[in-house]
């Protein structure tokens, strides 16, 4: 099971997403060894510009020492979009423990 999440990190992710009206929900979902950050966007697949803006906003947080997301074997961090964008991502999302997912951010209109 993945290690516990630090509240300060989850709060920072929520604050970073506050201006993104196209991100409807951001959930932190435990997997076998680490957490995955799953974003549900207004359109799927998300616009390339949105993905770039999200990377600029979230990238520094994903790599922080207190991040809930551990580096994978390829040097990346686990953030994904729902619905999944391909077969590999679909398989990964199916293996996660959604019963213990934590909503980190939710867009409210």
CA dihedral (40, 46, 50, 55) positive or negative: positive
- Please, how many CA atoms are within 13 Å of residue 30, restricted to the half-sphere of its CB? 12
Query: What are the structure tokens assigned to 7, written together?
Result: 């509240």
Q: Which residues contact 57 (CB under 8 A, 6 or more apart)?
A: 16, 17, 20
CATH number of 7-106: 3.30.460
Q: Any idea which residue has 């390339």 for tokens?
A: 48
pLDDT at 58: 94
What is residue 33's predicted lDDT score, i.e. its pLDDT? 78
pLDDT of residue 63: 84
Its pTM stands at 0.89
pLDDT averaged per 10 residues in sequence order, the chain, 109 residues: 76 95 95 89 95 95 85 69 90 93 92
pLDDT at position 77: 66
């Amino acid at each position: 099971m993945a290690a516990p999440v630090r509240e300060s990190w989850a709060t920072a992710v929520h604050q970073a997403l506050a201006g993104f009206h196209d991100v409807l929900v951001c959930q932190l979902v435990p997997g076998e060894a680490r957490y995955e950050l799953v974003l549900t966007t207004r359109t799927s697949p998300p616009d390339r510009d949105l993905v770039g803006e999200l990377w600029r906003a979230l990238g520094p947080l994903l790599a922080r020492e207190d991040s809930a997301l551990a580096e994978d074997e390829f040097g990346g961090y686990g953030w994904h979009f729902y619905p999944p964008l391909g077969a590999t991502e679909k398989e990964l999302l199916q293996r996660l423990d959604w019963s213990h997912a934590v909503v980190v951010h939710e867009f409210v209109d």
